Amino acid sequence: MRADAQAMIREGYRQSLAGTKGSLVDRDAMVHQAALRAQALDVADDGLVFGRLDLATLEVRYIGRIGVRTSEHDSLVIDWRAPAAEDFYRATPEDPRGVVRRRVLHSRGHTVVDLEDDLLDPDAADGMTVVGDGAFLASLARTREGAMRDIVATIQREQDEVIRAPADGTILVRGAPGTGKTAVALHRVAYLLFRHRRRFGSRGVLVVGPNRRFTAYIERVLPSLGEGSATLRSLGDLVESVTATVHDPPRLARIKGAETMATVLRRAVTDHPPGAPDQLRVVFKGVVVTLDRPRLDRIRNEVHRRSRGSVNAARGRAADLLLDALWRRFTDVGGPDAAESAEGAETALWNAILAEDGLASLDEEPTRENGEPKRTRFEARVREQRAFTDFLIAWWPIRRPLDVLRSLADPSRLRRAAARDLDTTDIEHVAASWSGNSPLTYQDIALLDELDSLLGSPPRPRTTAPADDDPFVVDGVNILTGEEVVDETWEPEMRELTTSIERLERSRRVDDGVVEERPEYAHIVVDEAQDLSPMQWRMLGRRGRHASWTIVEDPAQSAWEDLDAARRAMETALGGPRPRSRRKPTPQRPRHEYELTTNYRNSTEIAAVSARVLAMALPDASPARAVRTSGIDPQIRLIAPPDLATTARAAAEELLTQVEGTIGIIVPMPPDDEPTQTTLFDTPPEPAAWTAPDHLAEGLPDRVQVLNVLEAKGLEFDAAVIVAPETVAAQSPRGLRVLYVAVSRATQYLTILTTEEAFLKSLGGDPPGRSG
């Protein structure tokens, strides 16, 4: 099969020698397909076959990462996503589905190093050998190398049901930490691309995770399954040309993430842009016509009211309404008469000069039409004036989302946009967060996307007429679009030489970040969906108006406070395009909900501690069942606040000698200037260890990472050190849920360093005196 793929690549290149246009297209398509195939075959080569089914019919099936056939098309290995492989994941002793023995093969390269059998139908076994040493549990205990691995060989039945769930509508998957939600979502992407390649391959699949650490953590899974075509993005990377890698403190995040911000931003884009002139002054036939600020503001409102769409595209309408108002002003101030006498005087002067030279006199140009001066002439003359075009560019600038956001760092501007939707302290807090060079946050990205959808692309030129005839072309630049206008009659073959990339570059030059088309996807996977704010749901909704969705979440881990509002925003995002008429509601899209119940990450010892935190956060919730016992008890220690940092570091150093894989030191969020929330526990101590988290791991190997609780979402480590859990719990009303995330990251070792005795007891730690 590899040789075939290589031959196809060669054949593709050979075809291009035909030299026709079509042959180049064929070459690209053929070489692309063959290269993908060759790549998938290379990737699948390691551990190609991982399963074997012995059926009651005596048939033997091998299950692998990809399907393999002989040149006669006889099946040697069945792709794990094919229907014939389903029994491998679904058969149980209660429902053997015709399977007598299921065997999992573990290989390194081309060598089988381990086997594990399940006898599903002992009555039919008839002398079959059965081997097994708990390879599945051993695979769960393996060392973490910092990147997630695929689980094709050990997908469990309840997980398989999610992976193979119907491709339409929405799949909602819930489960406690470590139940494999992320793993399952990624395998589902591979499944969808395999079974519905045409549908999902062409319009694309988007996988969204909470942050870059997370996307880096999972990025190898799909390629290892031979799927390189899905787009993987963090919530900070969804908008072109901007990136966020920091979180807002909880209170700011709450304000910026609420749906009210959509209204605030809508008002912001209709406000007078910074630096816009307050007066328009043009001269026609010696008559000065001006529009002052109140009139201009009314016109601006009218443009917004009428255009209701993209603000940038409305510049043409703005020009029309300005001209209209100027004309009305012109007639109000008695301009037509003045203009007529000015024009009459001008013609008379010329005629006198011409007569002196014995030349024919000028025709009297009719200034009136049906008794009125010609409005069209007025407009044409005004449009040509620099005073008008310069005004238009400054008064209705083509705006970029980032400029609008930064302009709201001015509290008075934000106050106008906020109206009564934000209170005074919120306004100051939010405005300050956008000032100067303050870094963009995850919530800001959703706001920029909202602004982008409000501002839209600049308008396309109205006509393809030569530049000379277009009133909006000034000095070779279309003032509506900012685009350079090339004379189309000049060297037409030059157009053949511009590539699409160049054209794209040119269109981008108009205004970076505005012209970019927002991509839409055929399927969107949202991981850690419980944390999305309503504004983030709106951002995703715009990318999936025709998409089907896989939503993966654990409400118990949610840092987002108003889950109901987030739910409503999610429903809108999933609902697809708005119905054209109210009477015709959009048909309800199918929805399937699943629950994953087994915790494959934590040892039972660590799961017991996280269950205690869960009980504090949500007394009614039930934890997932952990399946692996390690014999290693978590350490929960009472530490004096000044010693937190040194103890955390010492704990990490000790863990370095105990585990071969990754160690996470998980600290609270950076301190915020707002007052902390009251919780079950005393006021947290002064921030100490986590204010300069980089120092905690200075000089330690890379496998030790320091990260704050929100950055730890979705990740896992062999060992975790949780610093100041009481502060995590106190930092927001959802603090205990955030802590639940932190304590459920480790696979083997968990060390918790608290400064509060009450906390120590609640987590089941040793009383003081007995602990270090």
Ligand X SMILES: Nc1ncnc2c1ncn2[C@@H]1O[C@H](COP(=O)(O)OP(=O)(O)OP(=O)(O)O)[C@@H](O)[C@H]1O
Q: Residues marked as binding for ATP? A: 175-182
Q: To which H or E segment does residue 473 belong?
A: strand 473-474
What character string, x for contact with ligand X (CB under 6 A) and - otherwise, covers 642-681? ----------------------------------------
- In the bound state with ligand X, the residue whose beta carbon lies nearer, of 304 and 737, is 737
Q: How many whole angstroms separate alpha carbon 132 and alpha carbon 101?
A: 12
Cα–Cα nearest to 586, from 594, 574, 577, 596: 577
The binder of ligand X chosen from 327, 472, 600, 690 (CB under 6 A): 600
CB 398 within 8 A of CB 312: yes
Pull the structure tokens for residue 711: 């950055």
- In the bound state with ligand X, the residue whose beta carbon lies nearer, of 236 and 714, is 714
- In the bound state with ligand X, the residue whose beta carbon lies nearer, of 445 and 742, is 742
Residue 466 one-letter amino acid: P
The answer for residues whose C-beta is within 8 angstroms of residue 48's C-beta and 6 or more apart is 64, 65, 66, 68, 77, 107
Q: How many whole angstroms separate alpha carbon 102 and alpha carbon 517?
A: 49
The binder of ligand X chosen from 248, 716, 718, 756 (CB under 6 A): 716
Q: How many whole angstroms separate alpha carbon 740 and alpha carbon 612?
A: 9
The binder of ligand X chosen from 16, 23, 75, 139 (CB under 6 A): 139
Task: Give binding residues as ranges.
Answer: 175-182
In the region spanning residues 254 to 293, those forming contacts with ligand X, defined by CB under 6 A, are: none
In the DSSP assignment, the letter for residue 511 is: S
Residue 532 interacts with ligand X (CB under 6 A): yes or no: no
Q: Smallest distance from the beta carbon of 600 to ligand X, in angstroms? A: 4
- In the bound state with ligand X, the residue whose beta carbon lies nearer, of 138 and 352, is 138
Q: Smallest distance from the beta carbon of 624 to ligand X, in angstroms? A: 8
In the region spanning residues 321 to 340, those forming contacts with ligand X, defined by CB under 6 A, are: none
CB 535 within 8 A of CB 258: yes
Q: Smallest distance from the beta carbon of 235 to ligand X, in angstroms? A: 15
- In the bound state with ligand X, the residue whose beta carbon lies nearer, of 140 and 474, is 140
Residue 234 interacts with ligand X (CB under 6 A): yes or no: no
The binder of ligand X chosen from 175, 336, 541, 693 (CB under 6 A): 175
Q: How many whole angstroms separate alpha carbon 98 and alpha carbon 91?
A: 8
Residue 297 one-letter amino acid: D
CB 17 within 8 A of CB 11: no
- In the bound state with ligand X, the residue whose beta carbon lies nearer, of 328 and 625, is 625
Residue 151 interacts with ligand X (CB under 6 A): yes or no: yes
Binding window for ligand X (CB under 6 A); candidates: 114-122, 173-181, 583-591, 674-682:
173-181
- In the bound state with ligand X, the residue whose beta carbon lies nearer, of 515 and 712, is 712
Q: Smallest distance from the beta carbon of 702 to ligand X, in angstroms? A: 20
- In the bound state with ligand X, the residue whose beta carbon lies nearer, of 714 and 765, is 714
* Beta-carbon count within 10 A of 536 CB: 27
Binding window for ligand X (CB under 6 A); candidates: 149-157, 323-331, 430-438, 683-691:
149-157
DSSP string over 399-468: --HHHHHHHTTSHHHHHHHHTTSS-HHHHHHHHHHTSTTPPPBHHHHHHHHHHHHHH-PPPPPS--S-GG
CB 700 within 8 A of CB 732: no
Q: Smallest distance from the beta carbon of 213 to ligand X, in angstroms? A: 12
Pairing of strands 523-526, 477-478: unpaired
Q: How many whole angstroms separate alpha carbon 389 and alpha carbon 213?
A: 48
Pull the structure tokens for residue 529: 């969906």
What character string, x for contact with ligand X (CB under 6 A) and - otherwise, covers 363-402? ----------------------------------------
Binding window for ligand X (CB under 6 A); candidates: 172-180, 355-363, 435-443, 720-728:
172-180
Cα 51 off chain centre by: 36
- In the bound state with ligand X, the residue whose beta carbon lies nearer, of 87 and 716, is 716
In the region spanning residues 152 to 171, those forming contacts with ligand X, defined by CB under 6 A, are: 154-156, 159
How far CA 56 is from CA of 102, 739, 758, in Å, comes to: 12, 50, 59
CA triplet 201, 203, 209: central angle to 5 degrees? Answer: 85
Q: Smallest distance from the beta carbon of 159 to ligand X, in angstroms? A: 6
Cα–Cα nearest to 712, from 750, 681, 683: 750
What character string, x for contact with ligand X (CB under 6 A) and - otherwise, covers 468-487? --------------------
Q: Smallest distance from the beta carbon of 93 to ligand X, in angstroms? A: 18
In the region spanning residues 176 to 205, those forming contacts with ligand X, defined by CB under 6 A, are: 177-183
Q: Smallest distance from the beta carbon of 557 to ligand X, in angstroms? A: 6
Q: Smallest distance from the beta carbon of 737 to ligand X, in angstroms? A: 12
In the DSSP assignment, the letter for residue 51 is: E
Total number of residues binding ligand X (CB under 6 A)? Answer: 22
446: buried, middle or exposed (CB in 10 Å: 19+, 13-18, 0-12)? buried
Give the interface with ligand X as residue ranges (CB under 6 A): 139-140, 148, 151, 154-156, 159, 175, 177-183, 554, 600-601, 714, 716, 744
